Structure 1
Amino acid sequence: MLEEYLKEWSYLAVFILSALPWVESAAIVVLAIALGLNPIWSTILAFTGNWITVALLISLFHRWQEWRNKKQPAEVRQQQESKKSRQAHKVFVKYGLPGLAVIGPLLIGTEVAVVFAMIFKAPRKNVLFWMTTSLAFWTVLFAAAAYYGFSII
């Protein structure tokens, strides 16, 4: 009975830990599986916790950008955006955003990758899509590696 009770709290801990900034769902899912938790539930909860943080960060950063743009005169914004910077922005959104989303969680962390994407003014829908795809990929990959790796041992 106590063991079952502790497992229920363990699943809540998986969700909460992966929702913490700078704690990656891929690492938490490996820990959860190593501790004997159900790999499917651990994967779902770790992904969901990390995804909620990403979605919240995108939304808050977008609102902050809107607030900042209201404070800055339109002439200043137009002067800052040259033709080259608009072209560079298009290239980043098309090619750099997917790369940042895929590599970012491993090198700099999911939240930092989101902030970089938003600083570079990538559309928030694209950031959310690519970060969701990346989180799902890495979480499932690490969960499968942990599950099958621990099964072999």
Structure 2
Amino acid sequence: MTLLSLLVEISPLLEDASGLLQYALVFLFAAIPVVEILVVVPVAIGLGLDPIATGVVAFAGNVGSVYVLVAFHQRLSRWWGSRRAGGDANGDTGERYARARGLWDRYGLAGLSIGGPILTGVHIAALVALLAGSQSRAVAGWMTVGIGLWTILLVAASVFGFSLLGLA
């Protein structure tokens, strides 16, 4: 699924909703591994949602889903191991996992957490860190920092970009 097709599918849902439902959808979309903050923040701000509220809600949704992943990483590790052993690995997931593992090998937990949201997605990055043996608290803390930085950058870039183009 391409970024453009995600934008096309998310935009009408946010546009048709109103009030608090829009922010609930932002929260939900930010928690979905493929969509995350990279897609939902610019779309929501482009549709006229409050940038600060959008950033806070998107951050909460993305971080919340990572915390769920961290909380259940042992169960997920067993599932992942059985999935990989069966040879049923999706090529895209394998490529993203390899990219995240390369980040881990080169920069460690901090680098993976900062680069992960944009390069592999936070969920893959958190999973790599957990599978590499990092402590759950450290993964949760560093992923929070990485998601926070990217949320701030995305909100600022979206507001600036849309105002520069005269769209918002």
Q: Distance in 1 between matches of 2:19 and 2:76?
A: 39
CA RMSD of aligned residues (A): 2.2
> Does residue 132 of the first structure (1) align with residue 144 of the second (2)?
yes
Residue 14 of structure 1 aligns with an amino acid whose one-letter code is: V
Q: For the Cα contact (< 8 Å) 2:38–2:118, is it kept in 1? A: no
Unaligned runs of 5+ in 1: 67-91
Change beyond 3 A, Cα 1:64–1:142:
closer
- State the SS of the aligned residue for 2:19: helix
Counterpart in the other structure of 1:80: none
Q: Distance in 1 between matches of 2:139 and 2:66?
A: 9
Counterpart in the other structure of 1:37: 49
With normalisation by structure 1, the TM-score equals: 0.74
Unaligned runs of 5+ in 2: 1-14, 79-103
> Does residue 49 of the first structure (1) align with residue 61 of the second (2)?
yes
> Does residue 97 of the first structure (1) align with residue 109 of the second (2)?
yes
How far does residue 63 in structure 1 lie from its aligned partner after superposition?
5.7
Q: Whose Rg is larger? A: 1
Counterpart in the other structure of 1:107: 119
Residue 43 of structure 1 aligns with an amino acid whose one-letter code is: G
- State the SS of the aligned residue for 2:134: coil
With normalisation by structure 2, the TM-score equals: 0.68
Q: Distance in 1 between matches of 2:51 and 2:76?
A: 37
Aligned structure 1 segments of 4 or more residues deviating by more than 2 angstroms: 62-66
Q: How many residues align?
A: 124
Residue 54 of structure 1 aligns with an amino acid whose one-letter code is: V
Change beyond 3 A, Cα 1:64–1:13:
closer
